Structure formats: structure tokens, C-alpha cells
Amino acid sequence: MKITWFGHSAFRLDFAGKAVLIDPFFTGNPAFEGDKAKITEGISHILLTHGHGDHVGDTVEIAKATGAKVVTNFELCMYLAKQGVENVDSMNTGGTTDQGGFTVTLVRADHSSGLVEMDVNFPLGSANGIIVKAPGEPTVYHMGDTDIFGDMALIAEIHQPEIAMVPIGDRYTMGPEVAALAVQRYFSNLKAVIPCHYASFPPLVPDADRFVAAMEGKGVQVVVPHKTVAVRV
């Protein structure tokens, strides 16, 4: 599996002939460097953790251009369908869907979800984490935006993720030390963690140094890509 990070919480997964985007926030993302057209080439699926603008990002444009299927919670799917996205696959927390060669499960995240348009707030279902499983590939857990919570232990027991994308930016999610505690306390099966949701906007922590320090000596590989970087696992 090849995992590419585009800053903030945006990732691309390439595995077994599949190309999947998670939270494709490119336009307006200060941490993004790259050619959006090239990045989205061959994309078959877009997975969204929740309905905030810095996670929905360029979904509508990409989905219309590529025909990629958008997989997310029911309310957000219905909203995107009204924006002209034709290929949506709605889910909700705890559910699993077969996406043809891999499965997607939505799990709990402690966060909000919604968009503000014309000074009106549109709630868009629950915030979630995403579990991606494919035969012969490491199980991936994108935590979305979240704080630590005790039921992470159940997520670890049920899904046994081996790779995790962990928000560390503070203010809107857990901060570096709490994120490290979540990894250490609940996810003993992890082989690698990728910190995300930091350094993109001034209110967020500017780097991953505190997270790396808190993870030191804990037996889990911490992958800290500073720019658009692909990681093979």
C-alpha cells in the first residue's frame, strides 16, 4: 500500500489497483503542494470523515470530474447529492460497506460536523473515523477529527488497525500529548502512525515535535511527512 499525505487531513491510498482519497482538502489548504489534476487521476472513491469544509474540501469538483464514488454518512451524502454529486454511498456509525475489493467502516469520533453557508449552519450528521480493510493489505484507521475517548479500545479490539492517521493539532482535536496517549493506551497492534491536522493553520500546533517526543520509545513507528510525501507500508 502506498499512502500519500497532502497536508492537513488529506490522504490518498493506492493499493491493489485501487485509488482512494480521504478528506480531499486541496483548494485553500496552506499545507498543500502539488498538481490537483495529477493527484486525482484514477481516483475511484472519496471517503469523508465529516462535513466540515477543511475535510469535504474539493469533493464536489473531484467527484464530478472523475465519477468517483463518495462514501460518507447519510446526511452528508444527501447534501453532496444536492450539489450535483451523482455517485454517493451513504453509511452511518458502525456500518460497513463493500466497495469492491475493500471495505469501509465508519466508527465513532468525538467532534462536530456541518457547514456554514450564507450565515446558516447546516448540520451534516455525525463526525466519524474511517476503517479501510483490503485483503493482503494493512488495515488503515483514519481517526478524522477527534478527542481521545475510551471506546477507542473497542475500535482497536474489533478492527485491529495497523496504520493510523492521528490528528494532533489541538484546539479542534486532541493535542500532541493526548494523541500520543490514545495511541499508546488503546492501539497496541499499530505498526505505524501518521500525525495529521497540524501546521496548516496558525491556531494549530506548528509541527509534530511534541507528538514525536511523546511517542519516543513506545515501539510504534511515527511517520512525519513534512510536505506532500508518499509512504509505502
Sequence ranges of the domains in the chain: 2-226
∠ CA 55-60-63, nearest 5°, is 105
The CATH H-level (homologous superfamily) assignment of domain 2-226 is Ribonuclease Z/Hydroxyacylglutathione hydrolase-like (3.60.15.10)
Question: What's the CA gap between 87 and 191, in Å, rounded?
Answer: 34
Place of cell 509505502: 232
Closest residue by Cα to residue 4 from 27, 18, 20: 20
pLDDT of residue 227: 53
pLDDT of residue 140: 98
pLDDT of residue 225: 80
Q: Where are the alpha helices (DSSP H) in the chain?
A: 36-39, 53-56, 59-66, 74-82, 152-159, 176-186, 209-215
Q: The dihedral of CA 21, 124, 196, 34: what is its sign?
A: positive
Measure Cα distances from 7 to 38, 93, 169, 199, 221 in Å.
16, 26, 12, 8, 19
Q: Are 218 and 182 in contact (CB under 8 A)?
A: no
Question: What's the CA gap between 140 and 133, in Å, rounded?
Answer: 7
Q: Are 9 and 196 in contact (CB under 8 A)?
A: yes
For each of the chain's 233 residues, which pLDDT tens digit applies?
999 999 999 999 999 999 999 999 999 999 898 899 999 999 999 999 999 999 999 999 999 999 999 999 999 999 999 999 999 999 999 999 999 999 999 999 999 999 988 677 889 999 999 999 999 999 999 999 999 999 999 999 999 999 999 999 999 999 999 999 999 999 999 999 999 999 999 999 999 999 999 999 999 999 998 655 556 66
